[in-house]
Amino acid sequence: MTDSLLIEIIGFGIVAIASFQIAGYLRKFNLPLITGLIITGIFAGSSILNFIPKASLNELRFLNDIALAIIAFSAGSELYLKEMRSRIKSIQWMTFAQVSLIFILSSVLIYWVSGHINFIKEEPPLTRLAISLLFGSIFVARSPSSALAIISEMRASGPFTKTAVGVTVLIDVIVITLFTICFAIAKAIIHETPIDFTFTWVLFLEILFSALIGIGVGKVLNLPFSFKSHRYVKGALLLLIGYGVYLLANFVRTESLELIGHEFSLEPLLICIIGSFLLTNNSRHRIEFSVVLKKISPIVYIVFFTLTGASLSIEVFLTVVGVAFLFFGFRIVSLFVASFLGVVLAKDSAQYRYIAWMPHVTQAGVALGLTTLVAKAFPSWGIQFEAVIIAIVVINQLVGPPLFKWAIARVKESHLRHATPAFDGVKDAYIFGLESQSIALARQLKASRWQSKIISINRQDAIAKEADIEIVSIPEISLDEIQKLEMERADAIVCMLSDEENYSIAEMVYEHIGTKEVIIRINDRKNMEQFHKLGNLIIDPSTAMVSLLDHFVRSPNATSLLLGMDKSQDTLDIEIATRDIHGMTLRDLRLPTDVIILSVKRKGQMIISHGYTRLRLKDIVTMVGSPKSLEEVRAKFSGY
């Protein structure tokens, strides 16, 4: 590595860090991270600030190759066939309809208007056809990572969501093969190479050898996971394997030109995606491979999208914005027609016909990765081509996610948290499970002025067993039974059943009731993560006693206070509900002399409080003091 290259890498590293920070800030304005990285790259490029000169872009091309390999690995890792079995028929028909119709319709529409597009209207008809085919193939590409992020955010599940994910992932694999064919045809047309039997045979061999090498790469990808090492070490090895694929492809291309007078072009993206697909479906390292990719992907995306923006001329970008909007419209029309036909062919629900296109608008890494190959191969019009695709990807990133979210909500497959019910002035606790601990808890809460209700499951004999506690028996855990309990009034829900029953209740509360405080007594620590995702508070009996003893040893006074062992002192969480308190600083509060503030929690985050901290509505203030004084403060702060 030369000194100049090292300086350029360090310089770009500083720009990339700044790009990530700026893109993160732009997310406050609802701009996608990818858009922020591209915008920052444009400003850092030669057309504005010149932090990354054109000469440096050529030197840093190897970073682009590494990033493209990881993008291909990520696309292949999402294609896990076992997860598609339940919707395989719908996925097959939808994929067939979208790949064929989007490619054909987009290519035809673009060729139809190509005579009026400034940067290609002077080209011969066959060249315009080649450009149209390249646009059409890239329009097929999707963004699995964006789709999965939306599904995770909305906790979506159901036939519509499964089909959308399966189609998105499968198409990203197919589109690379489609692009490889179109790219070869475009080069043949533009370089005036005859498209005959020899051309077809060579193209077939290129794809065949790429697939065979991909199988070998699948074996090689297992090696980093065959021994114990840190995940970042394994990530570095994946980067080396990906870059090695590009070095091999360049070597074969150069040597074949010298030996046989013809470039034999292996397709690195196809090699990487096949290798990743094979590891994902035929290896016990699938989960770890996916985890490592998720660890290194953010860094790779920062590098790739910042470089993509830096390579773009702002002058060129502004001249093709109108074309980008036109072509975006062509893609949406093609997507709608293809998705409508796919639903009909798969015989899916009629309600999907007009919304099946919405999950597939977003594009990202694969589309931009293929575009960089076109820009590099055809410099006369490739820069404008790249600018158009980048603009379309930015539009897709802005429009696609809201459309997908709306479609998920439309088919009622969203499982977002229900809005928290307004406080009715009475503290209500619902306790699931009838046993000695639940009865003791109900009595203790009653002593603290809570209205407690114990819900027993299928135990009719439980009713009226405890005269001083309300006990309700329900035949089963179902949404109908839960709704009959009028749990909208609940300020806290305690689950003391099996983990399966607890999770069923917690999920129904999350989606249909919205109570914030859901306390779970778990039976197996392996199930802790699923409750954490719902924002539940978890108590593990196997460690609770040890933790309690530990706190008694290290902080006996505070622990005694927490457990209510000192009858003259108590703790209380109070939610700020009166506007008279809103905006006041802690030092200006008129509190009883025996009450002190321990902490302030705002929007789920604990804040470091001091005398000048201003309280806001909905803040949770934790206080300690005598029971009588705490009740006075509760009435003043909460308004009841």
Tens digit of each residue's pLDDT (9 = 90 or more) over 494-529: 888 888 888 888 888 888 887 878 888 888 878 888
- Examine the domain organization and report whether 311 and 448 are in the same domain: no
DSSP readout, 27-72? Answer: GGGT--HHHHHHHHHHHHBTTTT-SB-HHHHHHTHHHHHHHHHHHH
Quote the CA–CA distance of 554 and 487 in Å, as a whole number.
39
Report the share of the chain in percent with pLDDT over 70: 95
- Examine the domain organization and report whether 402 and 486 are in the same domain: no
**If you average pLDDT over each of 227-231, 553-557, 561-565, which comes out highest?**
227-231
Torsion of CA 521, 526, 532, 536, to 10 degrees: -10
Q: Which of 383, 410, 437 is the last residue of a domain?
A: 410
**pLDDT for res 503:** 87
**pLDDT for res 104:** 92
Each residue of 164-194: pLDDT tens digit?
888 887 887 788 888 888 888 888 888 877 7
Bridge partners (DSSP) listed for residue 203: none
The predicted model scores a pTM of 0.73
Q: What are phi and psi of 623, to 5 degrees?
A: -125, 160
Return the H-helix or E-strand segment holding 562. helix 556-562
State the average pLDDT over residues 416-426. 73
41 pLDDT above the threshold of 70: yes
DSSP designation for 276: H
- Examine the domain organization and report whether 401 and 488 are in the same domain: no
In a domain, 418, yes or no: no
Residue 261 Rama label (left phi>0; alpha psi -120 to 50; beta):
left
- Examine the domain organization and report whether 161 and 192 are in the same domain: yes
pLDDT confidence of 2, banded at 50, 70, 90? low
State the average pLDDT over residues 85-102. 85
Relative to beta strand 596-602, strand 620-625 is antiparallel
| Residue environment code for 614-624, b if the CB has 16+ CB neighbours within 10 A, otherwise e | ebeeebbbbbb
Quote the CA–CA distance of 501 and 523 in Å, as a whole number.
11
The number of domains in the chain is 3
The three-class DSSP label of residue 206 is: helix
Cα separation of the two ends of the chain: 72
149 pLDDT above the threshold of 80: no
- Examine the domain organization and report whether 441 and 398 are in the same domain: no
- Examine the domain organization and report whether 186 and 258 are in the same domain: yes
CB neighbour list of residue 328: distance below 8 Å, 6 or more residues apart: 392, 395, 396
Q: Which of 539, 555, 580 is the last residue of a domain?
A: 539
Contact in structure between 505 and 520 (CB atoms under 8 Å) = no
Instruction: State the CATH number of the domain containing residue 440.
Output: 3.40.50.720
In a domain, 422, yes or no: no
Instruction: State the CATH number of the domain containing residue 318.
Output: 1.20.1530.20
Report the share of the chain in percent with pLDDT over 90: 4
pLDDT confidence of 12, banded at 50, 70, 90? confident
Structure tokens at 72: 């291909």
In a domain, 560, yes or no: no
**pLDDT for res 562:** 64
Relative to beta strand 428-432, strand 451-457 is parallel
CB neighbour list of residue 463: distance below 8 Å, 6 or more residues apart: 471, 472, 473
Quote the CA–CA distance of 18 and 346 in Å, as a whole number.
47
CB neighbour list of residue 325: distance below 8 Å, 6 or more residues apart: 391, 395
More confident residue, 209 or 546: 209
Residue type present at position 361: V
pLDDT confidence of 333, banded at 50, 70, 90? very high
- Examine the domain organization and report whether 605 and 505 are in the same domain: no
Q: What are phi and psi of 322, to 5 degrees?
A: -60, -40
pLDDT confidence of 52, banded at 50, 70, 90? confident
Q: What are phi and psi of 362, to 5 degrees?
A: -65, 135
The three-class DSSP label of residue 509 is: helix
**pLDDT for res 466:** 56
Contact in structure between 464 and 443 (CB atoms under 8 Å) = no
More confident residue, 511 or 335: 335
Residue reference for tokens 């990285």: 37
219 pLDDT above the threshold of 60: yes
Instruction: State the CATH number of the domain containing residue 586.
Output: 3.30.70.1450
Q: What are phi and psi of 142, to 5 degrees?
A: -130, -170
**pLDDT for res 639:** 60
**pLDDT for res 459:** 60
Quote the CA–CA distance of 32 and 455 in Å, as a whole number.
45
In a domain, 201, yes or no: yes
7 pLDDT above the threshold of 70: yes
Residue 315's CB is within 10 A of a number of other CB atoms, namely 9
553 pLDDT above the threshold of 80: no
Q: Which of 421, 434, 445, 585 is nearest to 501 (CA)?
A: 434
Quote the CA–CA distance of 271 and 176 in Å, as a whole number.
10
The C-alpha R_g of the chain, in whole angstroms, comes to 30
In a domain, 484, yes or no: yes
- Examine the domain organization and report whether 328 and 221 are in the same domain: yes
Relative to beta strand 492-495, strand 537-539 is unpaired
More confident residue, 565 or 603: 603
In a domain, 556, yes or no: no
State the average pLDDT over residues 532-543. 80
**pLDDT for res 551:** 67
462 pLDDT above the threshold of 60: no
**pLDDT for res 249:** 86
Q: What are phi and psi of 619, to 5 degrees?
A: -65, 145
Each residue of 582-596: pLDDT tens digit?
888 888 888 888 788
User: CA separation (Å) from 559 to 290, 442, 444, 570, 628?
Assistant: 43, 21, 18, 11, 21
In a domain, 421, yes or no: no
Residue type present at position 360: H
State the average pLDDT over residues 474-484. 81
Residue reference for tokens 């009865």: 439
User: For the purposes of burial, counting CB atoms within 10 Å of the CB of 218, is it exposed (0-12), middle (13-18) or buried (19 or more)?
Assistant: buried
461 pLDDT above the threshold of 60: no
**pLDDT for res 464:** 45
State the average pLDDT over residues 325-338. 91
270 pLDDT above the threshold of 80: yes
State the average pLDDT over residues 372-381. 84
pLDDT confidence of 162, banded at 50, 70, 90? confident
**If you average pLDDT over each of 29-43, 57-71, 208-222, which comes out highest?**
208-222
Relative to beta strand 605-607, strand 596-602 is antiparallel
CB neighbour list of residue 7: distance below 8 Å, 6 or more residues apart: none
**Mean pLDDT rounded to a whole number for the chain:** 81
State the average pLDDT over residues 417-436. 79
453 pLDDT above the threshold of 80: yes
Q: Is the dihedral of CA 405, 172, 41, 43 positive or negative?
A: negative
- Examine the domain organization and report whether 364 and 444 are in the same domain: no
- Examine the domain organization and report whether 195 and 148 are in the same domain: yes
Structure tokens at 614: 């201003």
600 pLDDT above the threshold of 60: yes
Give the domain range for residue 613. 568-638
Quote the CA–CA distance of 637 and 487 in Å, as a whole number.
25
**pLDDT for res 640:** 54
Q: Which of 539, 557, 587 is the last residue of a domain?
A: 539
Quote the CA–CA distance of 132 and 113 in Å, as a whole number.
10
**pLDDT for res 336:** 92
Structure tokens at 227: 């021994």
- Examine the domain organization and report whether 187 and 252 are in the same domain: yes
Residue reference for tokens 């990339």: 16
pLDDT confidence of 334, banded at 50, 70, 90? very high
How far is C-alpha 268 from the geometric centre of its chain's CA atoms? 26
In a domain, 387, yes or no: yes
- Examine the domain organization and report whether 212 and 343 are in the same domain: yes
Residue reference for tokens 């999350």: 510
State the average pLDDT over residues 15-21. 86
